[in-house]
Amino acid sequence: MSMMTRLSPALIRLVLPVMLPLGAAFALSACASTEEEPYVERPVETIYNEAAAAMDEERYQVAARLFDEVERQHPYSQWATRAQLMAAYADYQALKYDDAIIALDRFIQLHPGSDEIAYAYYMKGLCYYEQITDVGRDQRVTQQALEALGEVTRRFPESPYSRDAALKIDLTNDHLAGKEMEIGRYYLRQGYQNAAIGRFRTVVEKYQTTSHVPEALHRLTEAYLALGVVDEAQAAAAVLGHNFPGSEWYVDSYALLVDANVRPAGNDRSWISRAWASVF
């Protein structure tokens, strides 16, 4: 299932300024040139309105360039700070995530007290989040998304972006847990039970709120039985049965134990029981 999302209209409205009338906007054809244009100073309102018009027309790269021009020509105007953030937003909409992140980091550094600082952190998180790939590939950007979104919830818990950031953190954790599961399954198929246990243990200890925990507990039952560590297999199945009694994974784990002539059994000395008890 794809995790990619775009900004909702409600969130966009929180950051888009009230635009001045666009009737006086100049044509944008010259701005689209790939050649460097000569410096011609123009009124800040004119440049900003052209940028806003380009945004409306979904000409995001043109808009980003024009917002940058606002700051270049009028760095001390009241428009310059807003233009910095809007340039980042235009890069984000153009899927130029690296450029957007650079612009956002600069905005955060220069304007830590801005009313829009929570939005800047949130949009940076989105830039990483929307680059998350499938679990079969390197997860560095997933970790970056988790860190950036975590900053939103920690720094700005009362902001309108905190709830959405928290939801995306849950989805990102689920994604990271899925990566651990994929590697663990591979090790298990290859007969590397100890390596597989390490991966499944990470899911149980670190990603306890994700959808992968029932399977992780089942795979632990399977791996421990293969190693002959029956008491840990029983403990894994017991925790699975207690917390997910209707799960298909518990049915499979129970069947494995029956085949081994044992039953699920709690074990207070097992790391599995201690880890799961820490949830409550």
**pLDDT tens digits along 87-144:** 999 999 999 999 999 999 999 999 999 999 999 999 999 999 998 876 556 678 888 9
Rounded to whole angstroms, how far apart are CA atoms 199 and 227? 16
Nearest-angstrom CA–CA distance, 236 and 136:
27
Q: What is the pLDDT of residue 160?
A: 93
Distance CA 253, CA 240 (A): 9
**Domain residue limits, the chain:** 1-111
pTM, entire model? 0.71
1-111 folds as 1.25.40
With 50 as the cut, is the pLDDT of residue 219 above it? yes
Angle between helices 162-190 and 213-227 (to 10 degrees): 20
Whether 206 shows a pLDDT value over 60: the answer reads: yes
Point out the least confidently predicted range of 3-17, 18-32, 148-162, 195-209.
18-32
Tell me how far apart the alpha carbons of residues 253 and 219 are, in angstroms, rounded to a whole number: 8
- CA gap 105, 97 in Å, rounded: 12
What's the residue count for the chain?
280
pLDDT, tens digit (0-9, with 9 covering 90-100), for 159-176:
999 999 999 999 999 989
**pLDDT for the residue 34:** 46
Distance CA 81, CA 67 (A): 10
33 pLDDT above the threshold of 60: no
Quote the pLDDT of residue 119: 95
